[in-house]
């Protein structure tokens, strides 16, 4: 069947945009009602671009500059509770400062979208990418996914709202993107038409819970030990249903815009016959996939899994793909200090996801790219070599290897 993209023009134009500007275009196309802003690099350029779009008369939205991230996130949460499509964002320690408001957006089951321009957690002051900021959401009842290109970032503002606002889900959505490499890199980006976006993304309807003078309700009254467990169970149910909704939404997106996403949860690159794969999140996909091509030229069966969705965690899908491998290497652009073997956060989830399998791949972990340190093609080749050796049974003194550390 021909997709709509083949029969009608769903792309309006191609613009030179960096990752932040691409997100701003997505927010405009999603016709977001309320934006709350507070600056911190690298997120700042998202709010700059949105204010410019509004000032230039291209976009009509309530734009509120808050006095801190905590107020900013509270404004977004409250706007969502009145049925507005709401948007916020932050980076690094600013993101951490607003955490109380982030947590309650999830327990209130509201679906705003936040962008996280990944940034190292200070001190000392550091601007470069590190994933600990967004990953801190992992246990909070949020949807959490990574874009690995600016094009994906624009598209995932639309995809994100559609998933989050689905009445089977109603969870807040965090769209993470690597600071610098993605947020501040200018590419030619295809921008969809407003008409196509309107077809893809229906208006937000919070239903009976909407806070409105015509619908007097009280949201989040005090509850005690007699309620909390049931509420958490509902959160889990929503996350479980999200695993069904996500593939539906990607299918709908592919039908409209062309087959852009083969696997909604993660991109598999040369994984069909692979024996060893690396798994990573974000912009490291570029050097990693190039490393795969080079190793394939040498006859090595390498592959790359670009993990897009971290919450909900695609347990079954990862078991199916990674379970076939001899070796799996995890690129953790984060550090879980004091965790088992002192590795990263992502390896903990992947290792426990694979544990129930009777035949398990050898899992190795890499800590790299912290604070924006470069991750080159050569670094990725080296990680593959270590993972191949581990899969072949070579024992290592340390289970976690640091890449690019001055030692």
Partner 1 sequence: MIKRVEVNYRGIFQKTLGKYIGGDIVQIASRMGKVAFSNGRYSDSPERNGIPCKYFAFVSPDLSEEELEAECGAKLDIDEADVSVVVDDTMVKGVEPWGWHGVRAINEKLREKGCLLVTSQHSHDQLLTFIPKQPFSWRLATVEGPASLAGLWVYKDDLTRERVLGALAAVDPGIISIEAVESYLLEKTKDKHRAEAARASYDATLRNMRVVKAGEGAEWHHEIPRLPTWKEFESGGVVVPAVPRGFTMGPRGQSRNERFLRGTTKSHRPVVRFDLCIKCTLCWYDCPDECFDPTDDGLYDVNYEVCVGCHKCAEVCPVPECIVMVDELKFDNNDSPWEHHKRDPQGYIKWAEEKKGLERIHYPHVTGTGMEIREGKFVPPKPDKGGPAAGAKA
Binding site for partner 1 (CB under 8 A): 14, 16, 18, 41-42, 123-124, 127-128, 149, 179-181, 184-188, 283-284, 286-287, 289-290, 372, 374-377, 405-407
CA angle at 142 for the pair 195 and 132, rounded to the nearest 5°: 110
**In whole angstroms, how close is the CB of 403 to partner 1 at the nearest point?**
12
- Minimal distance in Å, beta carbon 280 to partner 1? 11
> Strand, helix or coil at 375?
coil
Closer to partner 1 by Cβ: residue 287 or 361: 287
- The minimum distance between CB 200 and partner 1, in angstroms, equals 24
Instruction: Pick between residue 110 and residue 380 the one whose CB is nearest to partner 1.
Output: 380
Provide, rounded to whole angstroms, the least separation between the CB of residue 287 and partner 1.
5
The residue among 105 and 278 lying less far from partner 1, judged by its C-beta, is 278
Q: Which two tokens stand for residue 311?
A: 């919450």
Q: For residue 217, give the DSSP letter.
A: -
| Eight-state DSSP code of residue 41 | T
In 10 A of CB 6, how many CB atoms? 9
Separation between Cα atoms, residue 93 and residue 104, nearest integer Å: 19
Contact predicate 116/143, CB 8 Å: no
CB of 290 to partner 1, least distance (A): 4
At residue 29's C-alpha, the angle toward residues 34 and 150, to 5°, is: 105
Check: CB of residue 146 under 8 Å from CB of residue 308. yes
Q: What's the min distance (Å) between Cβ of 359 and partner 1?
A: 32
Choose between 34 and 375: whose C-beta lies nearer to partner 1.
375
CA distance 380 to 157: 29
**Cα→Cα distances 100→69, 174, 304, 323, Å:** 10, 15, 36, 37
- Whichever of 14 and 341 has its CB closer to partner 1, that residue is 14
Please identify, using beta-carbon distances, which residue of 65 and 286 lies nearer to partner 1: 286
Q: Which CB, 115 or 354, lies closer to partner 1?
A: 115
- Of the pair 111, 179, the CB lying nearest partner 1 is at 179
The span from the CA of 148 to the CA of 369, in Å, is 15
Instruction: Please say which residue, 28 or 289, places its beta carbon nearer to partner 1.
Output: 289
d(CA 351, CA 375): 23
Instruction: Report whether 22 contacts 150 (CB < 8 A).
Output: yes
Q: How far is the CB of 289 from partner 1 (least distance, A)?
A: 6
Q: Smallest distance from the beta carbon of 101 to partner 1, in angstroms?
A: 26
Q: Using an 8 Å Cβ cutoff, are 189 and 151 in contact?
A: yes
Is the CB of residue 23 less than 8 Å from the CB of residue 186? no
Q: Please, what is the Cα angle at 366 between 148 and 352, to 5 degrees?
A: 90
Q: How far is the CB of 148 from partner 1 (least distance, A)?
A: 10
């Amino acid at each position: 069947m021909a997709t709509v993209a083949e029969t009608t023009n769903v792309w309006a134009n191609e613009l030179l945009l960096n990752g932040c500007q691409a997100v701003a275009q997505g927010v405009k196309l999603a016709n977001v009602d309320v934006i709350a802003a507070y600056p911190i690099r690298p997120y700042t350029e998202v709010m700059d671009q949105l204010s410019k779009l509004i000032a230039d008369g291209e976009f009509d939205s309530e734009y509120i500059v808050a006095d801190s991230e905590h107020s900013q996130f509270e404004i977004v949460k409250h706007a969502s509770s009145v049925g507005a499509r709401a948007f916020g964002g932050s980076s690094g320690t600013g993101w951490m400062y607003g955490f109380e408001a982030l947590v309650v957006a999830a327990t209130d089951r509201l679906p705003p979208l936040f962008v996280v321009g990944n940034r190292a957690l200070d001190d000392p002051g550091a601007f470069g990418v590190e994933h600990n900021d967004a990953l801190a959401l992992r246990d909070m009842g949020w949807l959490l996914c990574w874009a690995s290109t600016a094009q994906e970032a624009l598209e995932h503002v639309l995809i994100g709202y559609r998933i989050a606002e689905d009445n089977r889900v109603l969870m807040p959505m965090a769209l993470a993107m690597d600071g610098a490499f993605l947020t501040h890199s200018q590419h030619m980006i295809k921008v969809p038409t407003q008409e196509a976006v309107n077809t893809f993304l229906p208006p937000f309807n919070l239903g009976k819970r909407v806070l409105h003078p015509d619908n007097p309700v009280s949201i989040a009254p005090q509850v005690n030990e007699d309620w909390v467990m049931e509420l958490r169970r509902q959160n889990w149910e929503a996350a479980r249903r999200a695993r069904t909704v996500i593939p539906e939404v990607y299918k709908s997106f592919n039908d409209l815009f062309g087959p852009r996403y083969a696997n909604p949860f993660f991109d598999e690159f040369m994984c069909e016959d692979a024996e060893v794969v690396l798994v990573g999140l974000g912009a490291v996909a570029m050097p990693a996939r190039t490393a795969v091509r080079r190793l394939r030229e040498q006859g090595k069966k390498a592959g790359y899994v670009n993990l897009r969705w971290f919450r909900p965690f695609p347990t079954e899908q990862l078991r199916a793909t990674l379970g076939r491998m001899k070796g799996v290497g995890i690129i953790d652009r984060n550090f879980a200090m004091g965790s088992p073997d002192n590795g990263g956060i992502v390896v903990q989830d992947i290792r426990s996801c694979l544990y129930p399998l009777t035949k398990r791949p050898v899992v190795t972990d890499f800590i790299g790219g912290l604070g924006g340190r470069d991750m080159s093609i050569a670094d990725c080749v080296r990680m593959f070599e270590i993972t191949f050796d581990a899969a072949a049974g070579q024992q290592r003194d340390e289970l976690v290897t640091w890449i690019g550390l001055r030692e």
